[in-house]
Structure 1
Amino acid sequence: MAAAHEGDFTGATDLIVDGKALEGSWVVYDQILKEGTCTLEEGGVIDPTVSHRVVRFTVNTPNIGDADIALGDPAVHVAAGDGLYQLSTCHQHWHFQHYATYELVDPATGKVWQAAKRGFCMIDVVPWNGGVQSPTSWVYRVCGRPAGPNGPAIVGNQGISTGHADQYYKWLGGQYFVLDGGDGQAPVPPGNYIIRIHVNPPFPCTKFDRDHNRPVDPQGMCHNFFESRYDNNVAEAPITLPVSRPGRTGFGPGGGQTPPDVDPIDDENRPATTDGK
């Protein structure tokens, strides 16, 4: 692992969603999502005692700008009451709120299913080039936590360096859509769909947002952090949900292996991949 370097704050950040990684990683499984792994909270699963059909996927969000996203210690934001972070009671570390939205879309009807995942630990996970810039060594790699059941407080350092990507690998808790209605949404029939990921999504500005100087895009919508542009924050991947059982190693381009017995959590030691799968 390369040593951390000083942050780069000259210029502007620019996040994208790595569409190639999304397209190559999705895989359908029938699996039991076990209690006690945080995946039930992250995935919105109601009954953990039965097998559920899910489609898993990897989300890679590179910073292709010429400056870092530097948020620092989440505890400072919590103390300031700026609404950017909350404590994940399951993971026992700080989660950035509303970092990305996960949607499964029926292109024929426009119907949308939402993934339950809402919290993210935003750190440098993998270097990313993409023909845009050469990655340097990482800077941000500590989620941070308050003192609690897992031990003393840890000062966090969250952000994404230029030339690095925050990544949420398909095995992590919440990195899936529940397809059989097991999360309280309508079941998703077999057929063709689109996975849509939106990083740093827009939302209507409130007085609270204006009081806390949220960035505003040209359309008048607020975002949680500033970027040089917001029109490249979405990626979509077409997928096909099978009628038949997907088998132990799954159905889809990200298949070929059995899922882990326990979903890892999205801390500093989360699994990652450099090829997106």
Structure 2
Amino acid sequence: MTLIGENGHAADTLTGSGFDFGEEPNPYGAAGFPLDRRYSHSLYHDADAEPHTGTGSMENLGFGAQFPGHPPFRASESFGIAHPEPFIPEIPQAVPDSQARLSVGSVYRPSLGARGLPDLVPDPNYVQASTYVQRAHLYSLRCAAEEKCLASTAYAAETTDYDVRVLLRFPQRVKNQGTADFLPSQPRHSWQWHSCHQRYHSMAEFSHYDLLDVTSGRRVAEGHKASFCLEDTTCDFGHLKRYACTAHTQGLSPGCYDTYNADIDCQWIDITDVPPGNYILKVQVNPKYLVLESDFTNNVVRCHIHYTGRFVSASNCRISQS
């Protein structure tokens, strides 16, 4: 979930090296910021790297003196008593550029004051558990039709309110397993009020859905889901809900889940014009990379879909890189 658009340019800038330290490994990433090992579990795959131990160096702070692992002492001029120096925490050891194998969405972060990045991961088991087919008249889909959630044939001049659409419905649960909040790509003043749903749309497209031919990979149908209710639906133990679907605050906290049931509007693909057969359902969150994440390679779920014309079954749902 190679970066696209502006994110791609940012990644090209960050991966370059503008410093020469001779024989010593370069402890800095692009723009001269030290790399933060706190996020190395999601940004790098350096399992063989040894943890940093031993003496820290004040050189990283621009002083050029060594200090041991505990606070140094000095004799007071006034009283002749040893007092501890103010403790300066050691900067986390950087991952050398030669060892860092960047994945899609990985970025360098300053180690001091950095809050990390979000990391959205959809739940493949949740999609597989409750996928089904629904037939609905157009008059019951008016709100969804306003959001362009139906196939193009639903908007033809000859259609009536009593025409039936066939919908491939499935639920979705997305977890933020990163270290920072996932916030809408648009500022609050630009959120759009949707009178039919009586809610604010904070992102134009939070998820995108494709139905692909299993043999050729060609797209045969598609859908999308605007994040009109981006919130902390549930959270892991020890994490508190902080965002709700309101006009003032929307987002997804670390350790929390945003859940969309299969029966809500636009949580589907319109397959009215799709013949029976075997297909691949592709569900992607943050599809246009509008919000920066620590890892975009876990934003996609793919499922095998068997459609009989009346019923559908989903199997082998799993996380995919694309």
Q: Normalising to structure 2: TM-score of the pair?
A: 0.53
Letter in 2 for 1:104: L
Per the alignment, residue 237 of structure 1 pairs with 303
Residue 283 (structure 2) aligned to one of 194, 197, 203: 197
- Structure 1 residue 112 corresponds to structure 2 residue 219: yes
Q: Deviations over 1:160-205 (max 9, x none)?
A: 011112222111111111212xxxxxx2111111111111123xxx
Letter in 2 for 1:88: H
Letter in 2 for 1:224: L
SS at match of 2:263: coil
For 2:186 and 2:299, locate their aligned partners in 1 and report how far apart those are by CA, in whole Å.
25
Q: How does 1:84-233 map to 2 (within 5 A)?
A: 85-95=191-201, 96-129=203-236, 134=237, 136-144=239-247, 156-180=248-272, 187-202=273-288, 223-233=289-299
Letter in 2 for 1:164: C
For 1:66 and 1:30, locate their aligned partners in 2 and report how far apart those are by CA, in whole Å.
41
- Structure 1 residue 64 corresponds to structure 2 residue 144: no
Q: Normalising to structure 1: TM-score of the pair?
A: 0.61
For 1:72 and 1:176, locate their aligned partners in 2 and report how far apart those are by CA, in whole Å.
23
Residue 163 (structure 2) aligned to one of 33, 50, 60: 50
For 1:38 and 1:74, locate their aligned partners in 2 and report how far apart those are by CA, in whole Å.
24
**Structure 1 gaps, min length 5:** 1-8, 79-84, 145-155, 181-186, 203-222, 255-277
> RMSD of the alignment, in Å?
2.7
Shift of 1:113: 3.6
Shift of 1:252: 3.9
Q: Deviations over 1:130-168 (max 9, x none)?
A: xxxx45221110332xxxxxxxxxxx2010011112222
Q: Which structure shows the bigger proportion of residues in helix conformation? A: 2
SS at match of 2:119: coil
Question: Residue 50 and residue 72 in structure 1: after superposition, are their counterparts in 2 closer, same or farther (change >3 A)?
Answer: closer
- 8 Å CA contact 2:200–2:246 kept in 1: the answer is yes
Question: Residue 74 and residue 253 in structure 1: after superposition, are their counterparts in 2 closer, same or farther (change >3 A)?
Answer: same
Shift of 1:94: 2.2
Q: Whose RCO is larger (CA < 8 A, sep 6+)?
A: 1
For 2:276 and 2:185, locate their aligned partners in 1 and report how far apart those are by CA, in whole Å.
43
Letter in 1 for 2:287: P
- 8 Å CA contact 2:183–2:251 kept in 1: the answer is yes
Letter in 2 for 1:160: L
**Same amino acid, percent of matched pairs:** 26
SS at match of 2:251: strand
SS at match of 1:20: helix
For 1:109 and 1:253, locate their aligned partners in 2 and report how far apart those are by CA, in whole Å.
19
Shift of 1:122: 4.4
Letter in 2 for 1:91: H
Per the alignment, residue 18 of structure 1 pairs with 123
Residue 145 (structure 2) aligned to one of 40, 64, 71: 40
**Structure 2 gaps, min length 5:** 1-113, 316-322
- 8 Å CA contact 2:235–2:257 kept in 1: the answer is yes
- 8 Å CA contact 2:130–2:171 kept in 1: the answer is yes
- 8 Å CA contact 1:11–1:67 kept in 2: the answer is yes
Q: Deviations over 1:220-261 (max 9, x none)?
A: xxx211211111111111111113x34xxxx5479xxxxxxx
For 1:115 and 1:75, locate their aligned partners in 2 and report how far apart those are by CA, in whole Å.
28
SS at match of 1:108: coil
